Amino acid sequence: MKNANLFVDEAEIEVHSGAGGNGIVAFRREKFVSNGGPNGGDGGRGGDIVVVATTNVGTLLDLKTANKIKADSGENGGGSDRKGASGSHKEIAVPVGTLIYAVSRTRRHYVDSEEEFEGINKELIEETIESEPELIADLTEHGQRVVIAQGGRGGLGNARFKTSTRQAPDFATPGKPAESLRIRLSLKLMADVGLIGFPNAGKSTLLTRISAARPRVANYPFTTLVPKLGVVERDERRCVVADIPGLIEGASEGAGLGHQFLRHVERTRVLIHLLDLEAMIVEGRDLLADYDAIRTELGRYRPELLERREILVLSKGDLIHDEALLSDLKERLAARGLSPRIISAAATQGLDALLLEMFDAVETERRAVEQEESEAKARKEERKQ
């Protein structure tokens, strides 16, 4: 039985559109008509492979085991000018945030000849071209659709080739070949806010307190093995928050959970960076060193992530009672220009102020993106004039 909660964010499959149906050669055969004219019908068009982004799917699990997906081919034409039925399109549902890369393409074509009409007496040649993964689509909105493999056009029946000088054409053309390619699907979660920090820093607990999401929470590292999304709503304000699995030093090179989950940070507008006060008290951890380690991994993975809006949070604030220790930490952070908030998700302390700052930051970033898009659209219109 499939585990419906299993999160899969990478998959590689082969897709094949449908080939066009062949046109046929046929002539009217009627009583008392010795030489009926041509009435061979056209072939039907092959089906397309269409990828559709939807919020109803949250993982690529179903595609992980689907080695090959094919659309229907068009049917051959018939006599009496009957056109073959077109093949059905094949739709592939993927989560919003999925990127589609072409890994290889199979090219099918007819060899050149001196025949007047393509495909007549020609041999179908097939060659597969391997290449570096090429991005062909980035599906970021619900309902967004993209045709990644087009069905072949139907061939023409001999009725199409009747002219005043060619009354009885005895040839038809085959349907266009199908398109085939191997694609790689990669999911990057679409979230406004990403919760980042070392394992067990309190990210999952925070998400459960501010949203209806219920990630696993426990007092040991790597409780969260997959990213979790939660919708946070207060009054008329709404945003999506992602709990990104705990990072460690070397994550950008694959250590721990590695860049398998780092990519889910890429689309977030705002980062909430949690530092674990309990680790400082119990283990003597240097939280400034923890902060630098996570920032280093983000920079190594994508330097532009260091420019992302960041809210620094000291978590598990209900556990610290040594004001001198806390004051020293604040001074060291202030020397770096950092002004953290202190919260306790377990005791629901400091959450209202944090959410207010989070919503303000998200809305500021949204306005900035809208402004950039508006300016880009205006420049595009100017170039057209």
Q: CA-based angle 12:60:243, to the nearest 5?
A: 125
CB < 8 Å & 24+ apart, contacts of 208-217:
208/345, 209/345, 209/348, 209/351, 210/241, 210/351, 210/355, 211/241, 213/241, 213/243, 215/243
pLDDT tier for residue 5 given thresholds of 50, 70 and 90 = very low
Beta bridge partners of 30: 33
Highest mean pLDDT among 42-46, 172-176, 298-302: 42-46
According to the model, what pLDDT value does residue 380 have? Answer: 81
Q: CA-based angle 316:318:320, to the nearest 5?
A: 90
pLDDT tier for residue 351 given thresholds of 50, 70 and 90 = very high
Q: What percent of the chain has pLDDT over 70?
A: 85
Q: What percent of the chain has pLDDT over 90?
A: 49
Above 70 in pLDDT, residue 222? no
For residues 218 and 165, which has the higher predicted lDDT (pLDDT)?
165
For residues 350 and 264, which has the higher predicted lDDT (pLDDT)?
350
| Weakest mean pLDDT among 60-64, 95-99, 129-133, 250-254 | 250-254
CB 109 within 8 A of CB 176: no
pLDDT (average), residues 343-358: 94
According to the model, what pLDDT value does residue 377 have? Answer: 83
pLDDT (average), residues 47-56: 93
User: How many angstroms separate the CA atoms of 244 and 132, rounded?
Assistant: 29
Tokens of 366: 């949204």
Mean confidence (pLDDT) of the chain = 84
| Weakest mean pLDDT among 25-39, 264-278, 317-331 | 25-39
pLDDT (average), residues 111-124: 56
Tokens of 35: 């030489």
User: How many angstroms separate the CA atoms of 210 and 271, rounded?
Assistant: 15
| Weakest mean pLDDT among 28-42, 156-170, 175-189, 353-367 | 28-42
Above 60 in pLDDT, residue 349? yes
Q: CA-based angle 308:314:317, to the nearest 5?
A: 155
According to the model, what pLDDT value does residue 257 have? Answer: 47
Q: pTM of the full predicted structure?
A: 0.70
User: How many angstroms separate the CA atoms of 244 and 297, rounded?
Assistant: 14
